[in-house]
Amino acid sequence: MNNLANKRVLLGVSGSIAAYKSPDIVRRLQDLGAEVRVIITNGGREFVSELSLQTVSKNKVHDNLWDKDAELAMGHIELAKWADAVIIAPASANTIAKLCHGKADDLLSTVILATKAAVLIAPSMNQQMFASKAIKENLEILNNRGVVTIEPGFGEQACGDVGEGRLAEPIEIAKQVANIFSNNTLSGKKVLITIGGTIEAIDPVRYISNHSSGKMGMALAHACVQAGAETTLIVGSISVDVEKRANVTYITSANEMYDAVMKKIKSQDLFISCAAVADFRPTKISQNKIKKDSNLSSIELTRNKDILESVCKLKNKPICIGFAAETENFIANATAKLEIKKCDAIILNDISNTEIGLNSDENEVHFLSQEKTEKIDRSSKQIIAEKIIKKVTKYFF
Ligand SMILES: Cc1cc2nc3c(=O)[nH]c(=O)nc-3n(C[C@H](O)[C@H](O)[C@H](O)COP(=O)(O)O)c2cc1C
């Protein structure tokens, strides 16, 4: 069961004697499909070799907040953004106290403050330390902030004491990390998404395009990958980072996007047409730059093929979701699009409001299916994407 497939897990190793078990934790996380990177504290380094962790994780171990080279490559903020989940195992009493007080005096504690990802801790310490009021209160504060504690076990400890404080078993730690991703709802499904704007050449230097940034499409790509789908992207002109866990084909014009979609569509379960495809292209592309003093007064346009409509007409079509960017008569226009194109759902954007939609970080959309219309309130494009994917899964899979 690969329920950490496509997930990026950051393992923090702090200064507990149980740190010697951390390479095994890396392996168990990988067994469930995760890509793992490791941060080790100065304390952790005393108990386990970085070379072991580097070898099993197949990545450089991150150990220093002040590493100039790391800050140019994968520094503390990149690590914080990279992770889908952070698990500190073992979590020492000291590291737990630092998290509790929001300290940021080493790489691990700084990354924890900087991450939006789920944080889990697996405490490991002497039974008397674990029973102390300070630890109990610190864990309670962290739990109230949403940090998940993987409870330690009871038994004989390295120091010879018997009691509660042994690090949970590596397999149990990996399973509890997997449990937080309970939405593997598109596992085993193939999804094709078109993203960004198309560029329609007029001459070698000029073109017709639009303001699409690709933010909404890439947020959908991220949500699909997170939901466990095998995700393929056809990407036009964008100004965002590409989701690295997806298969990507880059295109320039609407015609190229059409060809790329038709090449990939056969085995797909879900097609999301999120790209802002130009409806028209210049009929003739001038081979040479059109001179300013030429007496050109208009550009003849030819209608581009409608990619969504073409996919909807296929014999064994996948579930098809389109986007409608409207400036007026929103619901009526989007409903008409749903009917004409015969797609399964339309996501309606009001692009007359410049604070949301095209090129902005936030959006507010309506989800129109043949049965009903539902509003998804204003939020970040990532949250909107996750809500769209939840609805698609609920209604169509
Ligand atoms: C031999 C030895 C074993 C230790 N084992 C633990 C332990 O299991 N759990 C713990 O919380 N601290 C343990 N400590 C104390 C921590 O290593 C110490 O508090 C350190 O500052 C933790 O640093 P870190 O949280 O930055 O990794 C141990 C110390 C020594 C010398």
Q: Which atom of ligand 1 is nearest to the CA of 91?
A: 11
- Which 3 state secondary structure label does DSSP give 381? helix
CA nearest neighbour of 193 among 255, 227, 253, 236: 236
**Hey, what are 58's tokens?**
């197949």
CA distance 43 to 276: 52
Kindly list the structural domains of the chain, giving each domain's residue range(s) and its CATH number in brackets, ordered by start: 8-179 (3.40.50.1950), 190-396 (3.40.50.10300)
pLDDT of residue 155: 87
CA separation (Å) from 81 to 9, 10, 42, 85, 232? 11, 10, 23, 10, 22
CA of 11 from ligand 1 middle (Å) equals 17
Task: Check if 132 has its Cβ closer than 6 Å to any atom of ligand 1.
Answer: no
| Range in 87-91, 112-116, 240-244, 374-378 with the lowest mean pLDDT | 240-244
Q: Is 100 in the pocket of ligand 1 (CB under 6 A)?
A: no
Backbone angles phi, psi at 205, to 5 degrees: -115, -20
CB distance 125 to ligand 1 below 6 Å: yes
Mean pLDDT (the chain) is 93
More confident call, 3 vs 17: 17
pLDDT tens digit sequence for 73-114 = 788 999 999 999 999 999 999 999 999 999 999 999 999 999
DSSP codes, 62-128: B--TT-HHHHHSS-HHHHHHH-SEEEEEEE-HHHHHHHHTT--SSHHHHHHHH--SEEEEEE---HH
In whole angstroms, what is the distance from residue 277 CA to residue 209 CA? Answer: 9
- Separation between Cα atoms, residue 34 and residue 368, nearest integer Å: 35
Is the CB of residue 41 below 6 angstroms from any atom belonging to ligand 1?
A: yes
In angstroms, the CA 238 to CA 228 distance is 24
Q: What is the 3-state secondary structure (H, E, C) of 260-290?
A: HHHHHHHHCCEEEECCECCCEEECCCCCCCC
Q: What is the pTM of this model?
A: 0.65
Chain centroid to CA 87? 18
Mutate to test the pocket of ligand 1, among 22, 42, 47, 94 (most ligand atoms within 8 A of CB): 94
Around Cβ 299, how many Cβ atoms within 10 Å?
16
Distance 159 CA to ligand 1 centre (A): 12
Distance CA 175, CA 177 (A): 5
Q: Report CA(105)–ligand 1 centroid distance (Å).
A: 17
CA 15–ligand 1 middle distance (angstroms): 4
Q: How far apart are the C-alpha atoms of 27 and 36, rounded to whole Å?
A: 9
Confidence of residue 181 (pLDDT cuts 50, 70, 90): confident
159 is catalytic: yes
34 and 177 in contact (C-beta within 8 Å)? yes
For the segment 107-141, what is each residue's pLDDT rounded down to a tens digit? 999 999 999 888 999 999 999 999 999 999 999 99
